Structure 1
Amino acid sequence: SNPAGSSAAKHKGAKMATDSKRTIKVFMASPGDLTKEREKFREAIKHLNEGFGDGANVEYEPLGWEDALASTGRRPQEIINRKIDECDVFILTMYRRWGQKAPDSKYNSYTEEEYHRALNRWKKSKAPEIFVFFKRVDAASEGDPGPQLCKVIEFKRKLEETRQVLYHIFDTPESFQKEVDTHLREYARGTLPPADAIQNRVEIPVANLEELEEAKEIAEKRTKEAEKANNAAEEMRLRLEAEQLQSAEDAAELSREGKIEFAREKLTKLTAETMDIRILSLGFEFFYRTGDLDTAEGILDKRLELSENNLPEIAAAWGNLGLVYKTRGELDRAEELYRKSLAIEEELGSKEGMAANYCNLGNVYQTRGELDRAEDMYRKSLAIEEELGHKEGMANNYGSLGVVYQTRGELARAEELYRKALAIEEELGRKEGMASNYGNLGLVYQTRGELDRAEELYRKSLAIEEELGRKEGMANNYGNLGVVYQTRGELDRAEEFYEKARGLYREIRSPNEKLIENWLKELRK
């Protein structure tokens, strides 16, 4: 099958060039603080035309205000608007600025006018395809935005609520170029998911939510006691504490509903103001899970400052910092932090904390390929979890040991361990663990050459990860499905899934993005 050919019927605005190539006109709108990104947009199109375009029988034509400037020496909006009316794809890119004021328009800026012109056309004819990209803004700026950034944040919230348009976050001009590349390939193939089908939810761990709820109930009870005792100062302090805890709960609910920007606003403000470790812990989980590792690390630094001589809190913060560095691929620093956390947990005799750190150290060694050391750590962790009767911890370690055995090629032993882990996860109703083990079992079947069974398991895993909004898990499954299709010789579908995986890994700043890029290079040779 030819995916580019099949999508020509879907995208009626795309015209056929004289050499029978399908021309896809792509307009980019952006305020003035994204000059480098505009250059990268043109570079992305140049590279697509030199490679992918030939194979897919398409040619991309870049459009923007620069073209009007070149032909007239000024920026007449009517010429720009005509280009928007003829484009097949409209790309809006935003950072901190809302755009240049438009005195002759009902909109606040030319950029806003351009977006609404494209959107109104899309509402009538389902064309052009609209992509919106936001360059990541640090949490401190979002917590205290000026009038321009305020409008950008409000616009992002509106997109989350209406779900009419796809949007993504990027970090650098280079990552923006990759986003443009990925989305334009998917457009040409006709494989873009509908905007309202994209899950952009963040599930906060249940333990964090239970801790908040318990703390809120205690604060409310003590507020009533202070009120009876006529202790106005204590009553006010406790009311503020209860309000902050409620606000944190509200933010967790917003993130679960997919209203990420509303949740981000609340948690940015809360984590800046609060001295409550529980709220900081929830804030860490949110920012870590949305890929904002710098903000997550800043929250942990604050948590360490507030912990002073509270050893359990220090150990927990160092363990989470290890997780941040492991996610960045800085394994030596991650190992150092896990060992610092472990030393405190051992000193305190905290078996639960020791088990967690042994497991985390096992993950570091496994990533390095030091399988014997990884197995030793997982078995130490497992022994403690079994002693404590912690089924969740037991399941984690069974699954991790399964990965060790699978890497060694001992597939029967690996499958046995994955199934032990899966049985516990199903008993506990832990969807995250079920997804992980379905994915691992898929790898076993794939290695055996049982591709249909592998695909079935990857899709079961993917469905759960999408439901949970876990981007890393979704990316893992997209990558694995890509391998299945590549093995079958279905190279177009393989490329499609690798692109999906690469985009998600980029969003969460995972080092796996480079791995997928290498797979794509090999595939395209």
Structure 2
Amino acid sequence: MSETEKRKIRVFIASPGDLVEERRKFRDAITVLNIGFGDGANVEFIPLGWEDTLASTGRRSQGVINQDIDACDVFILTMHRRWGQYAPDAAPYSSYTEEEFHRALERWKKSGSPEIFVFFKRVDAASEADPGVQLSKVIKFRQHLEETRQILYRYFDSPESFLNEVDTHLRAYAKGELPKAEERDDAVVLPIAALEEVEKAKQVALQKTEEARQANDKAEIERLKRDALELQMAKDAAKLAKEGKIEFAREKFTKLVTETTNLRILYLGYEFFHRTGDLNSAFRVLEKWLTLSGAENKTEETAVAFGNLGILYRMRGDLDHAEEIHKKALVINEELDRKDGIAITYSNLGIVYEKRGDLENAEKMYEKALVINEELGRITGMAIVYGNLGIVYEKRGDFQRAEEMYRMALAINEALGRKEYMANQYGNLGNLYATRGDLDLAEEMYKKVLAIDEILGRKESIANAYSNLGIVYKDRGDVKMVEEMYQKAIVLFKEIGSPIEKEVTEWLRELRDGESSSEGDTEA
């Protein structure tokens, strides 16, 4: 190949018939890549799929398709609800899509090529709870990929987010910057308090079952047995999540949240979907929660559901809706004189105002929360407020006072062994040091965040740490590390549906545009 000749990268896409729009987006992504990135990187991506065979032969010839698979450099498989067209002539495979994947996989095992990417479009929890034949095969396939850890896979929510995934992964492939599948660590640790509540409820159910036996109440015995079984299943699902077996945990949680009327189990399911980035399923769990507890009822359960719903809206960048929902929670908590709930809601409202840039109202909310937490001796709540006040002071430029708040919050959380909240304060300190220009200390703090959150599986916090590390490396002029950090952050922000993904994507675009400009500035 001459120096001026572009490197050809042949990219094959395989999918069942329910992803027509995604196949169009695949070709759109390659067109855009070839116009911009391809010129700068001296590469040309060539899209391949059954459409090309149809255009050249007038029919869908699996033999010709297999030739394209044997010649491709990158193989992309994308799936949603369908497993693929029945293939009577493709034994031992049950569909042509499955045959295509395994053909690429066997070639990869022998030669290390093609690079294989697998993308799954998210399916709602209710459908997964009662999947049918086609979706059941897709779920089992996801579990197989997770267990074998040979092939990286990702989730996406829409044709547009699929386009972004194709763009990101093909750029990384062309530059030789892909992560290895075995490096993936998706363990998710659910809140200990929620697990303890589930265990307590299970023990109560077992105790009442014995009482029902003595009373010979067969109907009550059966009901309590079902309750105990559901609670044990929830514990098992949480254990699987902690072990990194997310697909197996998801299978259990989708069934549980669809069938149960137990609010403790729904809370655990909400936390699982929230922490794994499936915000749509998390929303649906809270909708069911509110249906059971009564959205108009002034109960603790309804207030807690509204509080969690407000957090989800904030994560999606819908601050007006978040404020509205948190105020509903506040009204209920005040009517119940539920002091801890009032303090929590003030803190949540403070975060909404801080995100808007309304530091005055944010500080007022945090101060109100702090007073209540001090009255109750609720040191965990005090630690949260100290950290939030630190953010307000930092944004005002009062760095000394901000650091004092962060350190106070960190000390409490270290004493209590609250890893999640320790990570929050390490992140806050990292931001402060970065603003001060102390890049070494900032990097140290962000890496402490990653060390904790990669164990806990907190995707939003991990993504923030990556993007913040990118800023540190940018200030140092380490362009390669900046791009790596931004790409990692973008992938995670996409998974959780965070609006910050667009901001970091823009930073990455500006970085790449800057690189392209500098390449043309070399003196002759």
State the TM bucket, normalised to the shorter chain: over 0.9
| Paired residue secondary structure (1:112) | helix
Are 1:313 and 2:298 an aligned pair?
A: no
Unaligned runs of 5+ in 1: 1-15
The structure 2 residue matched to 1:355, chosen from 339, 343, 350, is: 343
Contact in 1 for aligned 2:470/2:483 (Cα 8 Å)? yes
Are 1:88 and 2:54 an aligned pair?
A: no
Contact in 2 for aligned 1:17/1:23 (Cα 8 Å)? no
Q: Look up the match of 1:104.
A: 89
Are 1:182 and 2:175 an aligned pair?
A: no
Residue 370 of structure 1 deviates from its aligned partner by 0.3
Residue 514 of structure 1 deviates from its aligned partner by 1.7
Aligned pairs for 1:17-166 (under 5 A) are 19-106=4-91, 107-166=93-152
Residue 61 of structure 1 deviates from its aligned partner by 2.0
| Paired residue secondary structure (1:62) | strand
Q: Look up the match of 1:303.
A: 289
Contact in 1 for aligned 2:7/2:44 (Cα 8 Å)? yes
Q: Look up the match of 1:335.
A: 323
Alpha-carbon distance between aligned partners in 2 of 1:67 and 1:301, rounded to the nearest angstrom: 45
Contact in 1 for aligned 2:185/2:454 (Cα 8 Å)? yes
- Give deviations 1:154-204, integer Å, cap 9, x for gaps: 111111111111111101111000001111122222222211221223221
Contact in 2 for aligned 1:398/1:418 (Cα 8 Å)? yes
Alpha-carbon distance between aligned partners in 2 of 1:356 and 1:124, rounded to the nearest angstrom: 56
Contact in 1 for aligned 2:278/2:495 (Cα 8 Å)? no
Alpha-carbon distance between aligned partners in 1 of 2:332 and 2:461, rounded to the nearest angstrom: 31
Are 1:500 and 2:488 an aligned pair?
A: yes
Alpha-carbon distance between aligned partners in 1 of 2:75 and 2:19, rounded to the nearest angstrom: 16
**Percent of aligned pairs sharing the same letter:** 62
Q: Look up the match of 2:187.
A: 201
Q: Look up the match of 1:389.
A: 377
| Paired residue secondary structure (1:502) | helix
| Paired residue secondary structure (1:100) | coil
Q: Look up the match of 1:366.
A: 354
Residue 363 of structure 1 deviates from its aligned partner by 0.5
Range moving further from structure 2, 127-136 or 261-270: 261-270
Contact in 2 for aligned 1:37/1:176 (Cα 8 Å)? yes
Q: Look up the match of 2:228.
A: 242
Alpha-carbon distance between aligned partners in 2 of 1:46 and 1:407, rounded to the nearest angstrom: 42
Alpha-carbon distance between aligned partners in 1 of 2:467 and 2:146, rounded to the nearest angstrom: 26
Which amino acid is the alignment partner of residue 155 of structure 1? F
Q: Look up the match of 1:450.
A: 438
Q: Look up the match of 2:206.
A: 220
Alpha-carbon distance between aligned partners in 1 of 2:495 and 2:481, rounded to the nearest angstrom: 22
Normalising by structure 2, report the TM-score: 0.94
Q: Look up the match of 1:263.
A: 249
Q: Look up the match of 1:292.
A: 278
| Paired residue secondary structure (1:168) | strand
Which amino acid is the alignment partner of residue 318 of structure 1? F
Q: Look up the match of 1:435.
A: 423
Q: Look up the match of 2:399.
A: 411
Alpha-carbon distance between aligned partners in 2 of 1:436 and 1:55, rounded to the nearest angstrom: 39
Range moving further from structure 2, 376-385 or 165-174: 376-385
Contact in 2 for aligned 1:63/1:83 (Cα 8 Å)? yes
Q: Look up the match of 1:490.
A: 478
Alpha-carbon distance between aligned partners in 1 of 2:384 and 2:9, rounded to the nearest angstrom: 48
Residue 313 of structure 1 deviates from its aligned partner by 1.1
Q: Look up the match of 1:8.
A: none
Contact in 1 for aligned 2:81/2:138 (Cα 8 Å)? yes
Alpha-carbon distance between aligned partners in 1 of 2:60 and 2:418, rounded to the nearest angstrom: 56
Contact in 1 for aligned 2:277/2:459 (Cα 8 Å)? no
Which amino acid is the alignment partner of residue 471 of structure 1? K
- Give deviations 1:19-38, integer Å, cap 9, x for gaps: 35333222111111111111
Alpha-carbon distance between aligned partners in 2 of 1:119 and 1:33, rounded to the nearest angstrom: 23
Alpha-carbon distance between aligned partners in 2 of 1:75 and 1:239, rounded to the nearest angstrom: 53
Contact in 2 for aligned 1:186/1:496 (Cα 8 Å)? no
Contact in 2 for aligned 1:322/1:333 (Cα 8 Å)? yes
Alpha-carbon distance between aligned partners in 2 of 1:465 and 1:338, rounded to the nearest angstrom: 27
Contact in 1 for aligned 2:30/2:167 (Cα 8 Å)? yes
Range moving further from structure 2, 421-430 or 352-361: 421-430
Which amino acid is the alignment partner of residue 55 of structure 1? G
Range moving further from structure 2, 375-384 or 107-116: 375-384
Q: What's the C-alpha RMSD, in Å, of the aligned pairs?
A: 1.7
The total of aligned residue pairs comes to: 510
Residue 297 of structure 1 deviates from its aligned partner by 2.2
Quickly say closer, same or farther: Cα 1:253–1:67, change in 2 above 3 A: same
Q: Look up the match of 2:504.
A: 516
Alpha-carbon distance between aligned partners in 1 of 2:373 and 2:69, rounded to the nearest angstrom: 60
Structure 1 runs (4+) greater than 6 angstroms displaced: none
Alpha-carbon distance between aligned partners in 2 of 1:311 and 1:241, rounded to the nearest angstrom: 22
- Give deviations 1:273-332, integer Å, cap 9, x for gaps: 222111111122122222332322222222222224461111111111111211221111
Residue 386 of structure 1 deviates from its aligned partner by 2.3
Residue 108 of structure 1 deviates from its aligned partner by 0.9
- Give deviations 1:393-446, integer Å, cap 9, x for gaps: 122111111111111122222122112111222212222112221121111111
Alpha-carbon distance between aligned partners in 2 of 1:351 and 1:487, rounded to the nearest angstrom: 45
Range moving further from structure 2, 505-514 or 410-419: 410-419
Residue 453 of structure 1 deviates from its aligned partner by 2.1
Are 1:399 and 2:387 an aligned pair?
A: yes
The structure 1 residue matched to 2:264, chosen from 255, 278, 290, is: 278
Q: Look up the match of 1:481.
A: 469
Which amino acid is the alignment partner of residue 185 of structure 1? R
Contact in 2 for aligned 1:223/1:238 (Cα 8 Å)? yes
Q: Look up the match of 1:230.
A: 216
Which amino acid is the alignment partner of residue 212 of structure 2? A
Alpha-carbon distance between aligned partners in 2 of 1:472 and 1:268, rounded to the nearest angstrom: 22
Which amino acid is the alignment partner of residue 513 of structure 1? E
Alpha-carbon distance between aligned partners in 2 of 1:448 and 1:331, rounded to the nearest angstrom: 29
Contact in 2 for aligned 1:40/1:173 (Cα 8 Å)? yes
| Paired residue secondary structure (2:11) | strand
- Give deviations 1:76-124, integer Å, cap 9, x for gaps: 2222222222222111000111112222111111110110011111222
Residue 373 of structure 1 deviates from its aligned partner by 0.7
